[in-house]
Chains A and B, each alone.
Chain A
Amino acid sequence: MIVAVAVPVALLWSDATEPIFNIARNVDDALGRPRAIILGFLILAGLVGSTWKQLVQGLYIAMSGHDWAVKGIAFTTLVAVTFGFLVVGWILDSRYRIALALNAIPWLMAAFVALKLVLAMRVMQRGAARGLFTRRQLIIGAIAWDVCVLAVYGVLALILPEILVRRHYLLLVAMLVVPFVRLAAAPLAVARNRHR
């Protein structure tokens, strides 16, 4: 609902309608009508999914009930964004650094996926140890995450030709965008809050 209202309003107020239509026409020419339509739906689904993610991914922090955790995360995010802009500016100053950064992207994605899986295992183990998740719930949760990851991967593989993008990069992207750890951490945070 938020996306459905926000996107047209943002397009009208920013006078971006014409450039967006031009991009859409170029994408249509480059990918063909069916792929362009799928890409359009994927972008819409991505906006809706991203809005939902923004709403729920911070739940575990708020549910922990720790004032310092909420403030700490907000402060860390602001610091990271500020330094992120500085680092991006520093990289964009040099073609060599841009090339190095582009080359590092797949390795960074692989590192983040490894970190995500380690954290997911830790959260699942702690949740199971505290009796918050049953064996059945853990298995269903893992299967649901796999299905979502493969669905996102399938759509990406459909719209991006294999000749241009390596398939394992798409799988890494899918594993990163489908949430798991922060959602699974919410019950742990509530349990911890309850026993403070």
Chain B
Amino acid sequence: MKTALLILTLPAVLALTEAVSFHAKNRSNGTIVSSGERREYLLHVPGNLDRRKPAALVISLHGAGGWPVMQRDLSRWNELADREGFIVVYPQVETGPGRGSGTWVGSATRVHRGSHRQIAR
């Protein structure tokens, strides 16, 4: 009986492993606190960027249900940034109960705008 139950839960264990692996592979590399909320982003600074000079910054927002690494891979801003010498940031929309909707719409938009200005600074 126990063997059958264990076999039955294998796909669920696999899903959990995939979820953990996804979160490990798609981690953001920066955070700020804006409007009392901790917000994550993925920042790309080209290795050849002259840090003494001001550089342009591109803020690239993912689509509904997306995430920063997905936006980076789809947009391929990093390749252009390396070639042209500018910085790219991919913010992560807030998700979860009471924190946000997973998209850049609704009452959270004003707060997101504030956090984007803060990232730019």
Residues on A lying within 8 angstroms of B by beta carbon are: 95-96, 99-100, 102-103, 113-114, 117, 120-121, 124-125, 128, 135, 138-139, 141-143, 145-146, 149-150, 153, 163-164, 166-168, 171-172, 174-175, 180
Contacts and interface: CB of A to CB of B under 8 A. Distances in A.
Pick the 5 closest A-B CB pairs, nearest first. A96-B106, A103-B102, A99-B101, A138-B4, A168-B18
17 contacts: A96-B107, A99-B64, A102-B103, A103-B95, A117-B12, A124-B4, A125-B1, A128-B1, A139-B3, A139-B4, A143-B7, A146-B7, A168-B15, A168-B18, A168-B22, A171-B14, A175-B15
B47 interface: no
A150 B11 contact: yes
Contacts of B106: 95-96, 99
Interface residues of B, number: 28
A138 B9 CA distance: 13
A145 B8 contact: yes
Given A99-B64, A103-B65, A124 B11 contact: no
B1 A99 contact: no
Residue of B7, B64, B70, B73 ringed by the most chain A CB atoms within 10 A? B7
A102 to B, nearest CB: 6
Chain B contact surface mostly: helix
Contact of B18 (A113, A135, A171): A171
Contacts of A172: 15
Interface of B: 1, 3-5, 7-12, 14-16, 18-19, 22, 64-65, 70, 73-74, 95, 101-103, 105-107
Contacts of B8: 117, 120-121, 124, 142, 145-146, 180
A114 B107 CA distance: 32
A85 B22 CA distance: 34
A171 B15 contact: yes
Contacts of A149: 11
Contacts of A153: 11
Nearest to B4: A138
